[in-house]
Amino acid sequence: MTEMSYPGWADGYIPDRLHFCAAPNESAQLWLARLVTQYGQYPASDADAMVCLGGDGFMLEMLHTTLERTLPVYGINCGTVGFLMNPAVPDNLPERLAAAQVAILHPLRMEATTRDGGCIHALALNDVFLFRQTRQAAKIRINVDGRVRLPELICDGVLISTPAGSTAYNLSAHGPIVPLSANLLPLTPISAFRPRRWRGALLPSTAQVRFDILETDKRPVAAVADFTEVRDVVSVKITEARELHTTVLFDPGQSLSERIIAEQFTA
């Protein structure tokens, strides 16, 4: 994962062919009407950039649609958290895009096998996490690159996040925040009971991780990759999909790397 100026535009180019998309909330819809009137609306296939109006959840949905396209995405905060978003300022939007800094994000690829033999594939730009489906704690064996690293984790769940997602659920579960340039994936337990003091691990982005669910009849577990939830899994494989990426634009001085660093110094 890297940050740079957007390489798809020549020096001095002003990207004014914009495709706007908006979350269904009132604020985002008002901004959509205003900006389309001001700048026009181009089809995504002909646009220089996608401008996403909403919060982080809607932004994440839109980023998934660009994983196999070369369309950069610029978020404007019309939601709640806005960690991936820029301030809502209507003027000089093309010039702001031309000056923007770029973050290149690679997703995680999840392959989940269920008790009935099904195999579900999904991508995650934030994280892949497993969680218990009933009152019974989950029992999970952790393999990394074909080697059993933890024979049995008794827990509410476990997650692997991307560096960009390390400030989300991973941080709430007391996992480490990881800079974009680190090429590391945080592996974090969720309410671990045994080993009681195990706090997780930092894995290289090339790692191949497999979670095997123990006692699946008694202790059913579900797996989630961003928006895809799979119930009653027996094993989950996770790798970083380096062949895929999405491009996110940030105002100068407000890059994703800067936000991730700043998050580590907040109370």
Q: Which residues are catalytic?
A: 56
Query: Is 127 known as a binding-site position?
Result: yes
Query: Is 77 known as a binding-site position?
Result: no
DSSP characters over 86-132? B----TTHHHHHHT-EEEEE--EEEEEEETTS-EEEEEESSEEEEEE
Query: Is 165 known as a binding-site position?
Result: no
Query: Is 156 known as a binding-site position?
Result: yes
Residue type, 175: G
Query: Is 202 known as a binding-site position?
Result: no
Facing residues of 190 across strands?
157
Query: Is 168 known as a binding-site position?
Result: yes
Query: Is 170 known as a binding-site position?
Result: yes
Query: Is 146 known as a binding-site position?
Result: no
Query: Is 126 known as a binding-site position?
Result: yes
What lies within 8 Å, CB to CB, of 168 at 6+ separation is 83, 126, 127, 161
What lies within 8 Å, CB to CB, of 243 at 6+ separation is none
Q: Which two tokens stand for residue 99?
A: 């000056």
How far is residue 201's CA from residue 84's CA, in Å, rounded to a whole number? 25
Cα angle 166, 171, 173; round to 5: 125
Query: Is 164 known as a binding-site position?
Result: yes
How far is residue 26's CA from residue 62's CA, in Å, rounded to a whole number? 18
- Binding site feature residues for NAD(+): 56-57, 126-127, 156, 164, 167-172
Binding residues: 56-57, 126-127, 156, 164, 167-172
